[in-house]
Amino acid sequence: MQNKKSENLKEQVLRMSGVNPSKCMRCGKCSGTCPSYDEMEYHPHQFVYMVENGDIETLMKSDSVYKCLSCFACVDRCPRGVEPAKLVEALRLCVIRQKGKNHMTADDIPAVLDDEMPQQALVSAMRKYSK
Amino acid sequence: MKFSYYPGCTLRTKAKELDRWARSSALALGAELCEVEDWQCCGGVYVSARDEIATKLSSVRALMSARDKGQPLVTVCSACHNVIKQTNHAMQTDKEFADKVNLYMSQDKEKREPYHGETQVYHYLELLRDVIGFDKVREAVKNPLTGKKVAAYYGCLLLRPGSVMGFDDVENPRIMEDFIRALGAEPVIYPMRNECCGGYMATEDPALAAKKSGAVSESAAGHGADVIVTACPLCKYNLVKNQSPVPVVYFTELLAEALGVKEDTHAE
Amino acid sequence: MQRIGVFVCHCGTNIAGTVDVKAVAEALKNEPGVVFSTDYQYMCSQSGQNMIKEAVAEHRLTGIVVCSCSPRMHEATFRKTAQAAGLNPYMVEIANIREQCSWVHKDMPIGTEKAVILAKAAVAKVNLNAPLTPGESPVTKRALVIGGGIAGIQTALDIADAGFPVDIVETKPTIGGKMAQLDKTFPTLDCAACILTPKMVDVAQNEKIRIFSYSEVTDVKGFVGNFDVTIKRKARYVKEDVCTGCGLCTEKCPQKNVPNEFNLGMDNRRAIYIPFAQAVPKVATIDPNYCTMLKTGKCGVCSKVCTAGAIDYSAKDEYIEERYGAIVAATGFNPISMEKFDEFAYSQSKDVITSLELERLMNAAGPTGGTLLRPSDGEHPHTIVFVQCVGSRCAACEQKGKEYCSKICCMYTAKHAMLIRDKYPDTDVYVFYIDVRTPGKNFDEFYRRAVEEYGVHYIKGMVGKVSPEGGKLKVQASDLIYGKQLHIDADLVVLAAAIEPDKSARGLATMLTASMDTNDFFTEAHPKLRPVESPTAGVFLSGTCQGPKDIPETVAQAGAAASKVIGLLAKDKLLGNPCVAHSDEMMCNGCSTCEKVCPYGAITYQDKEFRMPDRTTKVRRIAVVNEAVCQGCGACTVACMSGAMDLRGFSSKQIMAEVDAICK
């Protein structure tokens, strides 16, 4: 059974994402299409399944939330309209919105920068990885 | 015809060519791009969470500005386009979100009517297809790119999510191929054209970005492309950075070249 | 004044659980016209019905109100009871105190109160009921079957076997349908042609059956027992009764590059063609879109080589009209377009094919002579990937796929995989599935044989992307049980495309006023109890036009539809529904509004002479209802502005009396 905290977290994730994980029919097309699959500890279909089961904290502890490219291939290819990428996004926000939990800060930038890197990469990364 | 134009931050810095050739080509085709005053960075990515408000305000300001001028809003950069179009869609369809945004906006110094997604948003390619027409582009071509095999690289931002972007068929798009044909070149269709280049993972996990962009450029080259065209500075960066076997250029560069306005703009 | 008996049913605890049935019976005793009121455990049982009959005799009842379940369930039962007791069956009214009361309420006092109100309304109506007698109409003893696939063939054969004449209308030049394109059939693996073509010959030789091939139904008028149907016989430019089917013209025709639809465009045919060797009727057809003679007036080769003199370039479409007692829809299915699923690269590579295309590639009469070769380069494929549920169970967007399960794909894919492994043991075969659904006699055993005996790799997961690269098809997929993303270099990818009703079904449904569901499958009169009848009387359903089904099920349903048709045609006369509209000619002003809203074409107008008060006569236009055609829907009664139209058994007065009783 889920405890109160995980129930709250689940509700928050569902509300933020607008996703209804119970629409999932467990076909795994999201994970079949995901370009980051091999980098992830938990894969798109597991995000859907684990959110449905209220296991939010396990996902929040995993680096997998940072590996999604937001390419939305899983969203457009899902036969049931589940939109797994929106769940990953909501989970990542659940993590980085906590105090001191930014995954990337301005101090990290110089190390990744090169002369050609477009501004777009930096603003995107900052938006994805910090509040 | 006049259009509001949103260049975006990268087009002012690392992707000046994308911007410059877009403007000069538009002029040659009879469309005037009027830059939105005091535009702010779109943030590069659309955060899909429905309770994320502040990060979308800069897009709403640009959309409002175009609405107040009675002009459609044109973007060139794939990322700006994605963020602004998705924001516009949310303003049209998510009432709770729109109400919150309008509440924020009412605090701006400049008082404006609440916004509900009235502005028509065009990507530059959509402008060519839907407003100017590829036939007109074909007629305006002075230096047809005959014999050039061009691979269109859509990436993800132009197409997805398909239900919101409404840009083209997400799995079998043809707008860039039709564009390439209009310039007299030959489009190369390859399966990776709508797969991700690795995007912002260039910062977090460059190895992953290298793997993804490598697969794209090799697929294009494997299908016989002489050159890859893109609308996205980050796609271009990832492909070039990770040793694309064929050159990668912005689609506006090919356009300017075909229209014969490329040299003029270099001299600016 | 009526003498009404009220009978309140307990329906076990279904009603009595939430309705105080004794209180209802008691409350009704004082209603105007009620002379007897009682309750009983099961009113529909033998003893319940006897109770009604005895009460009719004892209390000289003239009307009956049964407070029970929905009239859909037992109205007919109680009407029969009344008739047996000597009453007119239309003197019975049902107060639905189960579906509309006990089942939707939890609270006994509320349920009881509502039951009393519903019963009072029924009593108020019976007070105004009048005996009704249904009219009669003759039955034309001939059936029409629309569609000449295995469903239509079986239905036609069964009807003809009972001695009734049948016409089959088939839009293609030959009957046979999809089954004629199949190679082998599950679960016994007998060849489709071997079991289908003898049936096609039976059809051709049966003197009770006429085949209108290359024809379409263009208009349907009339009603059960008497449908007037117009059939368009498309010009085939070959005289059907003269052509011997020798096929010489199809060899000599110089126009060689016509995509062959029978092989799904994977090879070419001539402009004059016979779809396949066992075609019925075995006559040639000229394709006017490709024939040089018809397009430019220059050629005439087929006419020159035809020794029978069957070619007729001046042929025109012909229309014939025929009357039928019953119509069977057997319009079949098609695989959906793969256009919206290009993540599987169907448009990008010839080696990505649908399962139906694979049937042709494995068929001895197919484009490769039955040897499985890649369409792109004619090489043997060594790694084959099957993708299940392409467009089936797809609820993401309407334009893309279908929300339903197509039902046949799991089995035919098991068949394909098994046949390939049997014939080409050096081939690796992968099947990506979401669920393997194999209910059916010997079906699961069949699928397990593919896995256990033939070594087919079944992988729980879905393919995300197919990329044609360097002569291979790179398949990226998930293996959910292993927990891995797989990358397979395949030579051939086979998509199990969802099936959808043939596009002609929608137009046909409109002509037949037969209803369809949101997927354009024909709706049955009752999903469980009347599965082969359409809600429109005299229209029956056979095969996949009603829903996805395999060959054994199709044949079973085709036979069932035939038996229903035979049951209808065996009657000499049909009793109509007496609850039909009628117009008060004194009030009708001939405005035509009712005619426009009538979905059955039951209303016509006539000019009638009326005697005026001053002894002159005046001709007025008035509406006349054809009671045999009217279905009693009541649309005209609400549309009529002068209040002339009324519905027997549901008159405005009766309805208002019910409303008054409820509001009292």
Mapping DSSP onto H, E and C, the string for C425-472 reads CCCEEEEEECCCCCCCCCHHHHHHHHHHCCCCEEEECCEEEEEEECCE
pLDDT number for residue B262: 86
Contact A128 B14 (CB under 8 A): no
Answer whether residue C236 is part of any domain: yes
Residues A65 and A29 in one domain: yes
Dihedral pair phi/psi, residue B197, rounded to 5° = -85, -10
Chain A partners of C462 at a C-beta cutoff of 8 Å?
27-29, 32
**Domain end (from C546, C569, C592):** C569
Contact A32 C434 (CB under 8 A): no
Residues A72 and A122 in one domain: no
Residues C605 and C585 in one domain: yes
| Angstroms from C338 CA to nearest CA on chain B | 11
Is C481 in a helix, a strand, or coil? coil
Answer whether residue C200 is part of any domain: yes
Residues A115 and A75 in one domain: no
Separation in Å, CA C220 to CA C312, C322, C376, C538, C626: 30, 10, 46, 12, 17
Separation in Å, CA B231 to CA B22, B107, B184, B255, C4: 11, 35, 19, 12, 83
**Residue to test with chain C: of A22, A27, A76, most C Cβ within 10 A:** A27
Minimal CA–CA distance to C68: which of C85, C89, C91, C49?
Answer: C49
Residues C56 and C190 in one domain: no
Residues C121 and C148 in one domain: no
Q: Residues B205, A130: contact at Cβ < 8 Å? A: no
Chain A partners of B200 at a C-beta cutoff of 8 Å?
69, 121, 124-125, 128
Residues A126 and A89 in one domain: no
Answer whether residue C658 is part of any domain: no
Q: What is the CATH number of the domain that holds C297?
A: 3.50.50.60
Chain A partners of C488 at a C-beta cutoff of 8 Å?
none
The total domain count for chain A is: 2
Contacts of C329 (CB under 8 A, 6+ apart): C146, C147, C505, C508, C509, C512, C514, C522, C534, C539, C540, C541, C542, C545
Residues C14 and C70: their CA atoms lie apart, in Å, by: 12
pLDDT number for residue B267: 40
What six digits make up the tokens of C382? 């060594």
Contacts of C374 (CB under 8 A, 6+ apart): C350, C351, C380, C381, C491, C492
Is A67 in a helix, a strand, or coil? coil
Residues C26 and C88 in one domain: yes
- In chain B, count of helices (H) and strands (E)? 13, 8
Chain A residues 61-100 with a CB less than 8 Å from chain B: 66-67, 69-73, 75-76, 83, 85-86, 89-90, 93
Residue whose pair of structure tokens reads 């009453």 in the numeric block: C87
Q: What is the CATH number of the domain that holds A88?
A: 1.10.1060.10
Q: How far from the centroid of its chain's Cα atoms is residue C612's Cα?
A: 52
Answer whether residue C370 is part of any domain: yes
Q: How far from the centroid of its chain's Cα atoms is residue C189's Cα?
A: 28
Chain C residues 482-541 with a CB less than 8 Å from chain A: 483, 485
pLDDT number for residue C664: 83
A28 touches chain C (CB under 8 A): yes
Residues C292 and C248 in one domain: yes
Residues C492 and C380 in one domain: yes
Residues A92 and A39 in one domain: yes
B208 touches chain A (CB under 8 A): yes
Residues A66 and A21 in one domain: yes
Answer whether residue C657 is part of any domain: no
Residues C147 and C246 in one domain: yes
Q: What is the CATH number of the domain that holds C622?
A: 3.30.70.3270
Residues C328 and C341 in one domain: no
Residues A131 and A77 in one domain: no
Element (H, E) at B103: helix B95-105
Residues C351 and C360: their CA atoms lie apart, in Å, by: 14
Chain C residues 539-578 with a CB less than 8 Å from chain B: none
Q: Residues C485, A32: contact at Cβ < 8 Å? A: yes
For C289, left (φ over 0), alpha (ψ -120 to 50), or beta?
alpha
Dihedral pair phi/psi, residue C652, rounded to 5° = -55, -40
Length of chain A: 131
Residues of chain B with pLDDT under 70: 264-268
pLDDT number for residue B264: 58
Residues C490 and C385 in one domain: yes
| Angstroms from C68 CA to nearest CA on chain B | 48
Residues A89 and A111 in one domain: no
| Angstroms from B84 CA to nearest CA on chain A | 14
Minimal CA–CA distance to C382: which of C343, C433, C421?
Answer: C421
A35 touches chain B (CB under 8 A): yes
Contact A77 C393 (CB under 8 A): no
Answer whether residue C175 is part of any domain: yes
**Domain end (from C548, C569, C590):** C569
Residues B59 and B61: their CA atoms lie apart, in Å, by: 5
Residues A9 and A45 in one domain: yes
Q: Residues C353, C341: contact at Cβ < 8 Å? A: no
Is C522 in a helix, a strand, or coil? strand
Answer whether residue C653 is part of any domain: no
Q: Residues B187, B198: contact at Cβ < 8 Å? A: no
Chains that touch C (3 or more CB pairs under 8 A): A, B
Residues A93 and A114 in one domain: no
Contact C463 A32 (CB under 8 A): yes
**Domain end (from C445, C465, C500):** C500
Burial label, B110 (beta-carbon count in 10 A; 0-12, 13-18, 19+): exposed
Q: Residues C608, C553: contact at Cβ < 8 Å? A: no
Got the DSSP string for B79-94?
A: HHHHHHHHHHHHHHH-
**Do strands B227-230 and B149-152 pair parallel, antiparallel, or not at all (unpaired)?**
parallel
What six digits make up the tokens of A50? 């684990």
Residues C640 and C561 in one domain: no
The total domain count for chain C is: 4
Tens-place pLDDT, residues A56-96 = 999 999 999 999 999 999 999 999 999 999 999 999 999 99
Walk me through the domains of chain B, giving residue ranges and CATH numbers: 2-124 (1.20.1050.140), 140-259 (3.40.50.11810)
Read off the pTM. Answer: 0.89
Tens-place pLDDT, residues C455-486 = 999 999 999 999 999 999 999 999 999 999 99
What six digits make up the tokens of A129? 């990885």
B218 touches chain A (CB under 8 A): no
Chain B partners of C347 at a C-beta cutoff of 8 Å?
172
Residues B255 and B186: their CA atoms lie apart, in Å, by: 14
Range of the domain at A54: 4-98
Answer whether residue C39 is part of any domain: yes
Residues A110 and A83 in one domain: no
Chain C partners of B169 at a C-beta cutoff of 8 Å?
340, 342
Element (H, E) at C36: strand C34-40
Dihedral pair phi/psi, residue C126, rounded to 5° = -60, -30
Q: What is the CATH number of the domain that holds C55?
A: 3.40.50
Alpha helices in C229-289 (DSSP H): 248-252
Residues A114 and A56 in one domain: no
Q: Residues A64, A58: contact at Cβ < 8 Å? A: no
A30 touches chain B (CB under 8 A): no
Separation in Å, CA A75 to CA B93, B160, C655: 18, 8, 53
Contacts of C547 (CB under 8 A, 6+ apart): C404, C521
Residues of chain C with pLDDT under 50: none
Range of the domain at C594: 581-648
Q: Residues A104, A121: contact at Cβ < 8 Å? A: no
Q: Residues C368, C361: contact at Cβ < 8 Å? A: yes
Separation in Å, CA B133 to CA A2, B20, B30, B139, B150: 57, 21, 12, 10, 20
